[in-house]
Structure 1
Amino acid sequence: MKHLAIHGGTPVAVGQFIETAWPPVCEATAEKLKQLYLSRAWSFNSPKEQEFEQAFAAYHGAKHGIFMANGTVTLECALTALGIGPGDEVIVPALTWIATAAAVKYVGAKVVFADIDPLTAALAPAAFEAQITTRTKAVIPVHLYGGMADLDHIIAIAQKHHLAVVEDCAHMQGGKWRGRGVGAWGDVGSFSFQQSKTLSGGESGICLTNDDKLAELLYRTKHIGYSRYDQQGQAGTPPPSGLLCHNYRGLAFPAQILLDQLDELPALLDRYNAFTDRLRELTGDIAGFRVQAPGRMASPQGYYACGLIFDGSEWHGIPKARFLQALRAEGIMGINGTYGPAYKHLLFNLHEKDYRNSGCPTAERLSERMLVLMHWHMSHRANADALASAIHKIADNRKELHEC
């Protein structure tokens, strides 16, 4: 007799798993957007952009916020403002979305990949330090999915070797490390507000910093050389010689949407943290399975997704794709595979340098043994119960997956 739904059994989560539409919408924000449209104050350092910059920076404990077009150009501008370019090396974790490494290439520097921590799936401090050379100028720790990079150790290593720290917080809106927001610990924090993110503006991003000089350089790099204090349309102070400036400006419309969502973020993160606590409690007895660990000093943890890791010997021989199919068949929605190691992406293997041999064994293993449940399904406690039931059922009947 076959028990799993993938083989014709009854799905365990049908009618229990609650789907949530994303991004969120509300009539009050729609009315504000209408008024903003009628105001004609859409861009060029508009009042609404400034309001969001100030509110988001304050939320995370940073002095300055610089609003931009997306969360890739924020990384590029951060590296540019820090003076990083051709001949320099920047260390990034092997498991991340390609934009983290692509931004390094955009400024002409060399990407150096380092392995990740098996619990959090974020940059491993020891692996980071092992990759430092005389040409290393910066590190980009990524707070990935629902795991926070170990900021205490990473920043201590960076300071020891006189390296800049650019935090990639695209997945970690609202997350805090020892009570202070991520993005406010390194030299620059970079956030994305792309449509799938916890705070969603469709597209847009922001850099945070506590450094007055870096804040001015970041603003100039995204605003065709203008200082924040120059009057639009009039000749102002010139940018520093050699600073490559772009039109990477944000818009007032996503700033308004994000301002309204920011008010709801604490309650949202409370639900996400409660979801993962519940899921860990319910699945702690499943051999070879674990939920991605939050940062050891996370308070609270932010979430872009909940990582599900089945890397014990009990699961050997069952491909990630098969486990994913089995979960979906049991009625679990919004679940996908994780990123592969960034160095295996086609764009990093077009020329003479072949990144496919970068050799980060933990990243290689987790990319094959980790699935992620998107954050918007984590608002409901019932979904933790349904997901746990599905994983238990698959674990109890995993032999059926071996037989395929």
Structure 2
Amino acid sequence: MTVFENLTKECAMSSNFETLAMLGGSPVSPAPLVPPNWPPVDETTADRLRDLYLSRQWSFHSPAERAFADAYAAHHDASHGIFMANGTVTLESALAAMKVGPGDEVIVPALTWMATAMAVHYVGATPVFVDVEPTTLCLDPAAAEAAVTPRTSAIIAVHLYGGMTDLEAIARVAKRHGLALIEDCAHMQGGKWAGRGVGSWGDVGSFSFQQSKTLSSGEGGICLTNDDRLAERIFRIKHIGYAADEQQGVPGVGPGVGLVCHNYRATAFQAVILHEQLHGIDNRLKRYNATRDIIEAELSNVPGFRVQSRGRQATLQGYYNLLMLADQEPLLDVPRPILLEALAAEGLRVGGTYGPVYRHALYNLPINAYRVAEGRCPVSEETAVDRVFGLSHPWLDVDAETARTIGRIFAKVALNAELLASHAVQKA
């Protein structure tokens, strides 16, 4: 009898042991769990879209666009909202409005979607990748400060998955070094830090409304700011040089020499969809946070998995994914593929993270077009790749019993850590 077979027999004799489904036991969920359909649809929004269609006021800073941009800014405690085509051009426009360009460096977290870094490249600057905290998986303030050079002009702090960057710490770094601060809030619609909306803490907040996001319109984005001058520059950049109060075909004084402007407009159709969703965002995030708490409670006495930390002062945490980390004993010796197999057999298929930008298959910039601070980012390269298991945010809108089932699946797998480690050795 092998060591693995002996261990299996010993475990089976324990009254507290549940045999894993992948090893012949009964799964926690007899049928595979599935998340709610996404994005949400409703008849009220469909009626509003029909009314908009018949109005012919589809673009060029239409009434529907203005109404949504103002409402979204107010919801996040910002003075101005500039609605755009997506969350990449919002970042690019914010950088351009703050005159970041060739010769400049911009600090970005290594763990983010590559658009954060590509926007820096689009304005001719150099992204500098900095590691993330192992708790929130967001930009490490100390590592960011250590990466500052005389060429550094800005920091892009990303609120990622289900964690918020330490805004106060990052803001102190930016202030000490005279750097612009942009919040990338693509994952954080509706989130509140210390009771105040994310996106209103930095010079500019950038949001995405791509189809998988918590507020979704297929594509779309918005910049928020409390700076009147920046708001005007960003609006002109996205609106081919027009100011916000100018009519199509009747430009006023123009954008001024040197401010390169684009057509980065979204349409009123996207604005209508988002405005309807905005009404329910607080309640949605409260449901999401309640589900997270149920899952975490199921794991409270089971070592192994932990939930990605919320922001230190998150008063309403937003979500793109719920991340579970298996970066502590007794799961450290269990390879990721084995954990994925075990979770799936119990009825739960999970994903992972983006991994570091500079290792992503779609990030094809030459090595001289970016810099990795300290030469490597171990949390982003190792923990965030090998030890993270993610559920997209619609999973957080399940009922309490399903939430408990999810928690029990993770707990059952963790309780079988020794057996899984032995199984991995047998398969090797």
Residue 394 of structure 1 corresponds to which residue in structure 2?
Answer: 413
Q: 2:375 & 2:364 partners in 1: Cα distance? A: 11
Are 1:358 and 2:371 an aligned pair?
A: no
User: Are 1:94 and 2:110 matched, yes or no?
Assistant: yes
Distance in 2, matches of 1:339 and 1:28, equals: 35
Matches of 1:349 and 1:250, distance apart in 2: 27
> 2:29 matched to 1:13?
yes
Q: In the alignment, is the contact (CA less than 8 A) between 2:354 and 2:360 conserved in 1?
A: no
Q: Secondary structure at the match of 1:139?
A: strand
Q: How does 1:71-220 map to 2 (within 5 A)?
A: 71-220=87-236
- Give SS of 2:351's match: strand
SS in structure 2 of the partner of residue 266 of structure 1: helix
Separation in structure 1 between the aligned mates of residue 213 and residue 22 of structure 2, nearest angstrom: 30
Equivalent runs, 1:216-235 vs 2, <5 Å:
216-235=232-251
Call closer, same or farther: CA 1:85–1:350 in 2, change over 3 Å: closer
Q: Per-residue CA shift, 1:120-164, capped at 9, x if unaligned?
A: 000011000000000000000100010000001100110010000
Deviations 1:167-219 (A, max 9, x none): 00000000001110000000000000000100011100000000000000010
Counterpart AA for 2:212: S
Is residue 324 of structure 2 the alignment partner of residue 308 of structure 1? yes
Q: Which residue of 1 aligns with 2:3?
A: none
Give 1:344 shift: 1.4
Q: Secondary structure at the match of 1:336?
A: coil
- The whole-number CA distance in structure 2 between the counterparts of 1:355 and 1:156 is 23
Does the aligned pair in 2 maintain the 1:68–1:204 contact within 8 Å?
A: yes
Normalising by structure 2, report the TM-score. Answer: 0.90
**Alpha carbon RMSD of aligned pairs, Å?**
1.7
Instruction: Tell me, in whole angstroms, the C-alpha distance in 1 between the residues paired with 2:367 and 2:111.
Output: 22
> Conserved in 2, the CA contact under 8 Å of 1:341 and 1:364?
yes
Instruction: State the secondary structure of the residue aligned to 1:65.
Output: strand
Residue 247 of structure 2 aligns with an amino acid whose one-letter code is Q
Matched position secondary structure for 2:186: coil
Structure 2 Cα separation of the partners of residues 201 and 99 of structure 1:
18
Relative to the length of structure 1, the TM-score reads 0.96
Q: Which amino acid aligns with 2:134?
A: P
Give the distance between the partners of 1:235 and 1:255, measured in 2 at CA: 24
Task: Confirm or deny that 1:377 pairs with 2:392.
Answer: no
Gapped runs of 5+ residues in structure 2? 1-7, 13-18
Alignment coverage as a number of residue pairs: 403
Give yes or no for contact 1:230–1:237 (8 Å, CA) kept in 2.
no
SS of corresponding position for 1:371: strand
Give yes or no for contact 1:344–1:355 (8 Å, CA) kept in 2.
Answer: no
Question: Which residue in 2 is equivalent to 1:282?
Answer: 298
Residue equivalent to 2:283: 267
Output the CA distance in 1 between the equivalents of 2:280 and 2:188.
Answer: 15
Alignment partner of 1:338 out of 336, 348, 353: 353
Structure 2 CA distance, aligned partners of 1:78 and 1:358? 28
> Are 1:70 and 2:86 counterparts?
yes
Given that residues 304 and 414 in structure 2 are in contact (C-alpha distance below 8 angstroms), is that contact kept between their aligned partners in structure 1?
no
